[in-house]
Structure 1
Amino acid sequence: MTDVNLDQLPGPLRRLLRMGGRVIEELTHDDLSGVAAQMTYYFMLALFPSLILLVGFFDALPLEANIDLFLERGLRSLPDDIAKLLSDYLREFSTRRPSGGLLLWTLAALWASSRGIRGARKGLNRVFRCKPESNIVLIRLQDLGLTLSGLFLMGLSYALLIGGKQLGSFVIGLFHLDITMQVIWVWLELPVTMLLMVAFVMLVYRFLPSRRVGFRPLLAGAIPTVIAWMLLGGLFRFWLQHMGSFDEIYGGLASFFLLMFLLWLISLVLLLGGEVSARLADRADRARDANPNPVADSLAVDVEPEA
């Protein structure tokens, strides 16, 4: 579609199409598929320790549920092969936990989980086109903080999806709230879950890259990222059922390769959301330079780029 045709479209749609075209161009320019492959390696290293910590977080909540309920509801959106691979691992871990104190293996799992944040930092620094932070101590503290924040927010999101009614009853009883709050709680489960996930992605875009951007670009990149993540499991399952033939190609290793491919898609979506935030931040910077104003950062994202 030419610029002349774009100029004939309504303003919001015109801005959306231009931003979409820009993101597609950056997909090739920044080699996002290759960067996502590098992130997949780190995410694979961090996946199982993170799941261990999530299960521990889930066990600590006031829910009358066991590991089987967590696996049944928490993994049901994933393809069957991947869900079986993860559930078998977690069931085995729950039956025979590592020897030694709880604190020791928790710290080991936390350190391993932070490697996923480290891989995301490298990828997002490239997307935001900024140099890596030179303060190693600060980087490691940020990795640890974001790992803990991510596990808490994502764990709470899973808890709402899996045991939302029980958790709601506990909160209502704890604060002696009216019983009508139970109905409101049920309606708020999905919006609150999405809000928690959006908050985590915004934290990732805010603190992992060395470049700092405003609130609105962060929000504009986080919302489509979370929506895409929530749709990804179902779309991936549909594709495998109707068009996939991984078992014929990889045999017994099919589950492993499917998991790697899914992690690659998750990484790519995270980078694409970062591209949206970065490009909107670029436009905000150009608008601020052209028209210095104390509130330019919050308003400049709605300004049309110059032809």
Structure 2
Amino acid sequence: MLRNIVAVKRVLYDALGHFNNDDGWAMSSHLAITALMALFPFLIFATTLGSFLGAQAFAQTAVHIVFDTWPEQIAEPISREVLRVLTVQRTDLLTYGVVLAAYFASNGIEAVRTSLNRAYRVTETRGFLLRRAQSLIFVLIATVGFLVISVLLVFAPLIARLAEQRFEWIEPYMGTFTLWRFIIASTVIVLGLFAVHVWLPAGKRRFVSLIPGILFTLIAWLIGSTVFAAYIDHFSSYVTTYAGLASIMIAVVFLYIVSAIFILGGELNAAISRYLEARARVGG
């Protein structure tokens, strides 16, 4: 028991110490701002591509996937404005505007890569063009994934009604459409976390070694989001301080918290791996 406590203390000290000494707070700011700046270009690019391919309901689906897992107080004003932007008719899929939108969206992927390289204590050896191509592929994969989910959500109510008619016992397990939408959004987040931890940082990591940091990230995100939402409801003075900019400032602070937790997840994985390697060397 004592040995386990000592091991946990060593791992936490290593993770938190490296996060603090390697400018983790500054990297959280960088990741939060870059993510916010990349969000609109990504959604514009993805929505334009979705409309081009005939997925007219894509805008609402994309907004739900992105914002359904945010606290309502933070997501509602931002998602409303995002949806307003996305519903503007665009026919410039193959023009420079949408190409640039995809490029700027990939900047968010690059920020995640930089954060994870620092967290995992690895040096990037891949060339700029290869990294940027990989980031653009991530953007395209995310877009295609959103398109598939958009189609599924369009047909989901019909499929649910048919299933309930043929199998009455399934009705209590179907839940509401909102619940399934939340489940889908959560699944996208989990798969996305595994994808970025596996492929973005330099080097290779075993799948099992990623689980602790990802579990920490998901649990800490849930706790952090709940606490921050409660703070906004009861104690926040953002509205009086920032007036019309309040929703943006709230989103920035929220993304800062989310980014810090995300980086700490990578730090935790790296610290556990270092501890296990050290224990293996001494035969313990």
Q: Give the alignment's TM-score, normalised by structure 1.
A: 0.71
C-alpha deviation, 1:273, in angstroms: 0.7
Partner of 2:245 in structure 1? 253
Is 1:20 aligned with 2:12? yes
Which of 259, 262, 266 aligns to 1:270? It is 262
SS state at 1:43 partner? helix
Q: Does 1:90 pair with 2:52?
A: no
Residues 156 and 287 (structure 1), Cα distance of their counterparts in 2 relative to 1, 3 Å cut: farther
* More deviation, 125-134/55-64: 55-64
Which stretch shows the higher mean deviation, 185-194 or 243-252? Answer: 185-194
Matches within 5 A, 1:137-148: 137-148=129-140
* CA apart distance, 1:31: 2.1
RMSD: 4.1
Cα distance, 1:126 vs structure 2: 1.3
Q: For residues 53-72 of structure 1, what are the structure 2 equivalents within 5 Å?
A: 53=45, 67=60
Deviation at 1:172, TM superposition (A): 9.3
Q: 1:61 to 1:178 in 2, by over 3 A?
A: farther
Residues 1:63 and 1:19: Cα distance change in structure 2 (over 3 Å)? farther
- Of 2, 10, 31, 1:7 maps to 2
Unaligned runs of 5+ in 1: 1-5, 292-305
Pairwise CA distance, 1:119: 0.9
Q: Deviations over 1:169-220 (max 9, x none)?
A: 448979xx96766765659946665444222111111122113221112122
- Number of equivalences: 278
Query: Which 5+ residue runs of structure 2 have no aligned equivalent?
Result: none
TM-score by length of 2: 0.76
User: Highest relative contact order (Cα 8 Å, sep 6+), 1 or 2?
Assistant: 2
Does the C-alpha gap of structure 1 residues 63 and 144 become closer, same or farther in structure 2, counting only changes over 3 Å? closer
For residues 91-139 of structure 1, the C-alpha deviation after alignment (integer angstroms, 9 at most, x for no partner) is 1430x234x4334455433222111001111111111111123422221
**1-structure distance, mates of 2:60, 2:79:** 12
The one of 24, 35, 41 equivalent to 1:43 is 35
Cα distance between partner residues in 2 of 1:204 and 1:73: 16
Secondary structure of the 1:244 match is coil
